[in-house]
Chain A
Amino acid sequence: MFSIRLGFKNLSRQKRRNIITIFVIAFAFFGYLFIESLFNGIEEMSFDNIKNFETGNIQIAHPAYWEEKDDLPLENLIIWNEDLKESLLQTSGVEGISPELRFSANLNNGIDEMGVIGVGIIPEYYNQVFQTQDYFIEGSLSALNENKAIIGARLAELMDLEIDDYIILLVRTKEDTFNTIDVEVGGVVNTLNPMMNTNTVLLPLSTVQQSLNVDDNVTMISLKTTEVPEENIIQSLESTFQGKELAIQAYSWQESAQGVVAFSEMKKGGVGAIMSVVLLIGMVGIINNVILSSLERTSEIGMMKALGMKEWEIVFVFMVEATGIGVLGGLTGCLLGYFGVNWMVNSGMSFKALYGDWLDWSQYGIPIVDRVYGAWNYSTFSYIFFLGVIVAILSSIIPAYWAANKDPVEAIYHR
């Protein structure tokens, strides 16, 4: 007990150095908490943007189509009929369904042409699953009922398109023959999903089916569910499909979001690397502190040995001191982290303000437009705190042992 008291009292020595060490540890902790919150925020926003604008919670597709879905084929499609619709809507946990027919097209405005993804949808169904309706700059989703197209704001900007302008979509039918879809722009959306804004054209499903010559077929059906995670609903759907002998399968949204999932994996690695740097900073700070303290207190260590203290008892005094620095650094870091993360969660950070227009996250498969918000992860606070304290304790052992192992005569008469 006396050694603990002495260790903590030693914290009042070399206040300036201890405060610097505490703040170095605190800023390292703060940096970790802030970046971890930022990464979690990007991940959460990306997942939300994928679910709310691209995939819903579950997608139904033919397995062969699913394998090739990135190439947007028009084979292995699903027949969209009342029976399937009823079956899906009656599945427990399914809140909304939206059939879609995806295809590749070249969009021509009369001057320029660019490749886009066309999506044939039924507005009433689409609204049950996706949030696009809330992000219209001009027009609305009901424009589809007037056989008009909805385009993203970025696409409108790139192709110099406005409401009521005519566009031509050059497509290939199921039989691989050329066809065109001539439509008027009936709405412009600026969603939180950059893919949606840049290269997607929404069209009435019936128009697309007719132009592509695919009858009542759709490429996929997106589902919105009430339950998260979706595994139970997927199992239930699978058994329904088997019962009806339908050659289709249900896929979780994660399976469509490979880019973001890859980002999540990268995030884990990145966060791990940052964690290593943070702990290394803490270690260096503590080791430096213990070495300097022991050099300054050499004759005191000699006196402790003269009093009959054993080496491990002297090591313990230094370890208590290092623990104190680790605890104070950790608490200060967590406090700074709390304010930093709170700011990130509530105010967010504009990447455009930081990097200008050149950084387009969507190029890297991250569906983030501009402002990124942080996310709380309370367990990280306790995790980094306790890990930091443990590292502080462990880091102090070797330099403290080095100090305690000094020859008592040399230590006492050290000047």
Chain B
Amino acid sequence: MPLLELKKVKKIYKQGKIDVPALRGIDMTVDEGEFTTIFGPSGSGKTTLLNMIGCLDTPTEGDIHLNGNKISDLSKKELAMTRRYNIGFIFQSYNLIPVLTAFENVEFAIRLIGNLSDKQMREKVLGMLKEVGLEGKENRRPGELSGGEKQRVAIARALIKKPKIILADEPTANLDSATAQDVIKIMIKMNEELGTTFIFSTHDPQVMEHARRFINLKDGTISSDKRGK
């Protein structure tokens, strides 16, 4: 059974009296542990598709199943719980909380799960920060970290709760190429070591170089779906 399954997913936005279709019937499946890239021109529906998969938005038509559970009909509260336990997000602009340290930003995600003792939680957060190369920088606030370091904190925050799937929306768009390369390597490492499923939306050739599956979106439909090495 695939981890993720989309059946004829459509999303239509209303702009006044005009219907603007963002997705025009997406059918796709993603297996556990896949490292998938969704690419396409601006306005092709990449971010909308990620939002549907990430339970941030609901489709106008069609079904989405995550881990065998239909998520397209869930209530707001149920969607929040699905995001809390099953989905990690990495954003282009990091979206860290500026008043919290790197440690606390990561701790935030695991505290929401809330099933660890303080000691276990501390060990886990420090271990994850070490995994993403931020050992010794756990007490720095986002303002004291570089762009690459901030994105590593965001990756650690997404991974700490061991989600079924991580959705990354243009994660390297704000980084220089060397830093972007480092960040991609960390995500590949996590994908290989933890078996976490990654879905990217990106234009970045560096990311696409490492992906094993390439989904090309055009005008809200999948124009190609290829698997690489």
Contacts and interface: CB of A to CB of B under 8 A. Distances in A.
Contacts of B157: 307
A297 to B, nearest CB: 9
A287 to B, nearest CB: 22
Interface stretch (B59-67, B91-99, B172-180): B91-99
Given A306-B56, A307-B83, A299 B93 contact: yes
Interface string B62-98: 0000000000000011001111110101010101011
Interface string A1-44: 11001100110110000000000000000000000000000000
B99 A310 contact: no
Interface in B100-123: 100, 104, 107-109, 111-112
B98 A2 contact: no
A398 interface: no
Interface stretch (A66-74, A97-105, A346-354, A406-414): A406-414
Contacts of B47: 413
Interface residues of B, number: 29
Nearest to B48: A409
Contacts of B89: 303, 306-307
A303 B95 CA distance: 6
Among A308, A310, A311, max chain B CB count under 10 A is at A308
Interface residues of A, number: 23
Contact of A409 (B56, B98, B100, B104): B56
B148 interface: no
A39 B12 CA distance: 65
Contacts of A412: 56, 91, 95
A307 B99 contact: no
Contacts of A13: 98-99
B54 interface: yes
Given A308-B87, A408-B56, 20 more contacts: A2-B111, A6-B97, A6-B100, A10-B99, A299-B95, A300-B95, A303-B89, A303-B97, A305-B56, A306-B54, A306-B87, A307-B108, A307-B109, A307-B112, A308-B80, A308-B81, A308-B85, A308-B112, A310-B77, A409-B51
18 contacts: A1-B111, A2-B107, A6-B100, A6-B108, A303-B95, A305-B56, A305-B80, A305-B83, A306-B56, A306-B87, A307-B83, A307-B89, A308-B84, A310-B77, A311-B76, A408-B56, A409-B57, A413-B47
7 closest pairs, A vs B, by CB? A308-B84, A303-B95, A308-B83, A2-B111, A9-B99, A306-B89, A408-B56
Interface of B: 47, 51, 54, 56-57, 76-77, 80-85, 87, 89, 91, 93, 95, 97-100, 104, 107-109, 111-112, 157
